[in-house]
Amino acid sequence: MFFILSKLLVFIINPLIWIVTLFFVSIYSKNEKRRKRCFLWAFGFLLFFSNSFIFDEFSRAWEVPATKYEDLQLYDVGVVLGGMSVYDDGYQRPQFYRGVDRMLQAVELYKLGIIKKIIFTGGSGRILHPEMKEGAYIKRYILFMGIPEKDFIVESESQNTRENALFTKKIIDEQKIKGRFLLITSAFHMRRSLNCFDAVGMDVAPYSTDRYAGPRKFEFDHLFIPNTSSINDWNTLIHEIVGYITYKVIGYG
């Protein structure tokens, strides 16, 4: 039930839905005062959520900063959280999103000798296709990259961050893996992830990837020109913040 409700919540907290709804009311409402007010709110939201500079500043405040190589220790396991792809049945292969940076960074850390093993944790995050488990089809790509099968462990049953932590902990305990653990996930997702792993008793160090907030820019287009991609990025950030608060309230971490 929680999994289904979380997917419905994604629709409700989408800024574009708010903007469209307000514009709709401003057009069709019979109350003149309400029409003007909704139009102003819709226009204001549109300017706010499409501004790249504003989004960058909020992202910078929320994201867990990246880590330089020289600040890393040596780790026995790098834990990579899923949510970076979807399987395309028509072409019989996965299609990757920007979150694939999590896995690419993990492969590099492995090649550099910073982590000895990789645990990938991620099942199906889709309501209609629970059989499409991400871990199952990610594995062959990792083997193509030259990671030995003995050093790549897959967990493909988890549906959310809480289960990522629970099922990874189960693997760690069953295989009696000891040592240091590095948690590898997107910078915007790291706060909630750290809390979840802490809640199940795993001490992990953060390694943030695919950050939204880069160096602060004061360029004209970044400051003033509306950017439609910022609206979608805000949807991701708001969803994560709401998820973080929800997990706190229900005791997931």
The number of folded domains in the chain is 2
Q: Does residue 103 form part of some domain?
A: yes
Is the same domain home to 234 and 179?
no
Q: Is residue 219 domain-resident?
A: no
Task: For residues 229-248, give the mean pLDDT.
Answer: 94
Question: Do 24 and 121 have their domain in common?
Answer: no
Q: Are residues 82 and 127 in the same domain?
A: yes
Distance CA 65, CA 44 (A): 30
Query: Is 216 part of any domain?
Result: no
Same domain, 136 and 59: no
193 in any annotated domain: yes
**Residues 102, 122 within the same domain:** yes
- 29 with 54, same domain: the answer is yes
Per-residue pLDDT reduced to its tens digit, 33-88: 999 999 999 999 999 999 999 999 999 999 999 999 999 999 999 999 999 998 88
Taking each continuous run of H as one helix and of E as one strand, the counts in the chain are 10, 7
* Residue count (the chain): 253
Tell me: pLDDT of 104 over 70.
yes
Interatomic CA distance for residues 53 and 158, integer angstroms: 35
Same domain, 86 and 175: yes
pLDDT the model gives residue 9 = 63
Q: Are 42 and 167 found together in one domain?
A: no
Is residue 220 in some structural domain?
no
Note down the domain range covering 89: 69-209
**Segment 169-192, tens digit of pLDDT:** 999 999 999 999 999 999 999 999
Name the residue type at position 165. A
Within this chain, do residues 106 and 28 fall inside the same structural domain, yes or no?
A: no
| Residue reference for tokens 């509306």 | 226
